[in-house]
Structure 1
């Protein structure tokens, strides 16, 4: 028996192991480390894999229907079953024998939907909610990098891999601090528009979603920071009015990042926008702009694009 397996066996044998964490507006108690976990979305799945929990997962959902994993991530997923290409059903989760679900609001769960913490509780399946998604059940809650750190630490406690979680958190914090130290106090913050998708009406990110703290940490300002939502539809008129100096294209979905860029460059209403005139774009993956370990890279990339005079030295 390996050292980890032996230690886990001791935990499972101990009735005093139970941990309690905060999940959105709930207190969640886990009686023993999960052995048959399910995650939803590429973001949450990558988090569990980074914590070294693949052998304690029975599947994932919500990846192939929307996202294209990197070759490295796909290799990790190849021998894990995808329970549903888009949203998982109660039947999917019960059929897999799940003993824990890591999901979020609009990340596999919808208010009033079939799969929620309350519906799964009836079957003895605990759910930990992605903190960034809590704005859907806790109106006005603003996302932050601390949400990601907190999720990693809570997952570390839930699965009894605290040291691994803390190492990931400290690694990210060091990279974010390095960007902050290099930036110093900037007199101006370049305006950034997040373009996810949509042609008649664009889909973007407001002040409650993860792009907000990423842009702020990179020394920029989200032009939709007055909108109290995480991801939402906006009007092209408001984009023109805010005159972004840089457009962040989220690379996922049916259209490629190049197709999205071409569409924006040719849009008649945007021809006077600074970012279009100067052709200033940054492309980041869906994984990088939603809560994930790629957030540090996203901040580094954005900071270099927003403040080339500092980061090209």
Structure 2
């Protein structure tokens, strides 16, 4: 997820500011030539190649199932893992300390090249790793065309089309983008069956949360999601282009900032008070803090005491990385549902 401008997360502002509003990808619509092949074993097959997919407004042609993946960012890592391609990862470059959920063990066994910020990405290092495919949330001072000159194809995960800026996004349905990415990666890797199973599992988990919300709607529905960098840092907020917006919708919550057609922005105190959310979701970058400290960093702000959610201390807390564009977004959805249930 790249960002070069304002980004909510402190280290994230350095780490995901780096990462978040990342480059590009819209729905990955693939067009394959010939038979899909049999991927029951999870092994690449010769059928169905060359394969052409549309990725971030460009056509990406894969001549044969790739065997050496350079995977950048935890989100990309969880998607490759879900698609059944973990054993193809020759180099894994997550953000330092980035959670990976159930994929942590398998991804941890691959060769590691962790990055602190997006600026740590080095074109020469990637080329030196001799991958035949890069899977990433985006790139920094170079682009897919630069890697293509070296014969390396680049697949940018869905949810980050539109540019590096924190407010830029072309995503309409970010959870469906996750399904689409896994499906596309399964086609590229020749692991369609595993990818289909993963998508079915994720869809089932999401639908379970939606059904729960339909059967037992939350008592306080109007909600705002804020990034809380600490007791004094400037708050960030999430509009209709963000993953947390869709997570709220699936939870039966109404995003009071949905009129803002952006992924992330910096709201004024007056705008937050006028929006009068009954509930707040405090997103934070994990580190040397606790969920209670995050809540207190938000509810202790005197300028926000006029907000109903602050006055009632109606605050849910979510690890920022669980509102990204990898499979951890479903973990985050379930975590919020559990907090609401409590």
Q: Is the 8 A contact 2:228 2:284 kept in 1?
A: no
Q: Deviations over 1:68-98 (max 9, x none)?
A: 5569716731542115333211012112112
Map of 1:242 onto structure 2: 275
Map of 2:334 onto structure 1: 300
Q: Write out aligned runs for 1:221-260 (5 A).
A: 221-254=254-287, 256=289, 257-260=291-294
2:208 aligned with 1:204, yes or no? no
Q: CA deviation at 1:188?
A: 8.5
For residues 201 and 295 of structure 2, the distance between their equivalents in structure 1, rounded to whole angstroms, comes to 33
For residues 47 and 30 of structure 1, the distance between their equivalents in structure 2, rounded to whole angstroms, comes to 18
User: What value does the CA root-mean-square deviation take over the aligned residues?
Assistant: 2.9
For residues 218 and 281 of structure 2, the distance between their equivalents in structure 1, rounded to whole angstroms, comes to 22
Map of 2:308 onto structure 1: 274
For residues 269 and 30 of structure 1, the distance between their equivalents in structure 2, rounded to whole angstroms, comes to 54
Q: CA deviation at 1:254?
A: 4.6
Map of 1:61 onto structure 2: 93
Choose which of 160, 166, 171 in structure 1 pairs with 2:201: 171
More helix by share: 1
Q: CA deviation at 1:242?
A: 1.3
Structure 2 CA distance for partners of 1:232 and 1:37, relative to 1, 3 Å: farther
Q: CA deviation at 1:245?
A: 1.9
Q: Write out aligned runs for 1:41-52 (5 A).
A: 41-52=73-84
Structure 2 CA distance for partners of 1:72 and 1:4, relative to 1, 3 Å: closer
For residues 50 and 273 of structure 2, the distance between their equivalents in structure 1, rounded to whole angstroms, comes to 53
Q: Is the 8 A contact 1:250 1:283 kept in 2?
A: yes
Structure 2 CA distance for partners of 1:166 and 1:140, relative to 1, 3 Å: closer
Name which structure has the greater RCO, CA cutoff 8 Å, separation 6+: 2
Q: CA deviation at 1:24?
A: 2.3
Q: Deviations over 1:256-307 (max 9, x none)?
A: 243322211211111122222222222222332112223333333434545x
Q: Given the two structures, how large is their TM-score scaled by the length of structure 2?
A: 0.76
Q: Given the two structures, how large is their TM-score scaled by the length of structure 1?
A: 0.82
Map of 1:81 onto structure 2: 112
2:124 aligned with 1:91, yes or no? yes
Q: Which sections of structure 1, spanning at least 5 residues, go unmatched?
A: none
For residues 53 and 131 of structure 1, the distance between their equivalents in structure 2, rounded to whole angstroms, comes to 17
How many residues end up aligned between the 2 structures?
294
Give the match's secondary structure for 2:84.
coil
Choose which of 151, 176, 193 in structure 1 pairs with 2:181: 151
Structure 2 CA distance for partners of 1:134 and 1:180, relative to 1, 3 Å: same
Choose which of 123, 128, 147 in structure 2 pairs with 1:120: 147
Q: CA deviation at 1:63?
A: 1.3
Q: Is the 8 A contact 2:162 2:169 kept in 1?
A: yes
Structure 2 CA distance for partners of 1:259 and 1:184, relative to 1, 3 Å: closer
Q: Is the 8 A contact 2:221 2:279 kept in 1?
A: yes
For residues 230 and 197 of structure 1, the distance between their equivalents in structure 2, rounded to whole angstroms, comes to 16
Q: Deviations over 1:137-174 (max 9, x none)?
A: 88654243211111110011111111111111111112
Give the match's secondary structure for 2:65.
coil
Map of 1:265 onto structure 2: 299
For residues 139 and 67 of structure 1, the distance between their equivalents in structure 2, rounded to whole angstroms, comes to 22
For residues 114 and 333 of structure 2, the distance between their equivalents in structure 1, rounded to whole angstroms, comes to 32
Give the match's secondary structure for 1:136.
coil
Q: CA deviation at 1:184?
A: 3.0
Choose which of 302, 323, 327 in structure 2 pairs with 1:289: 323
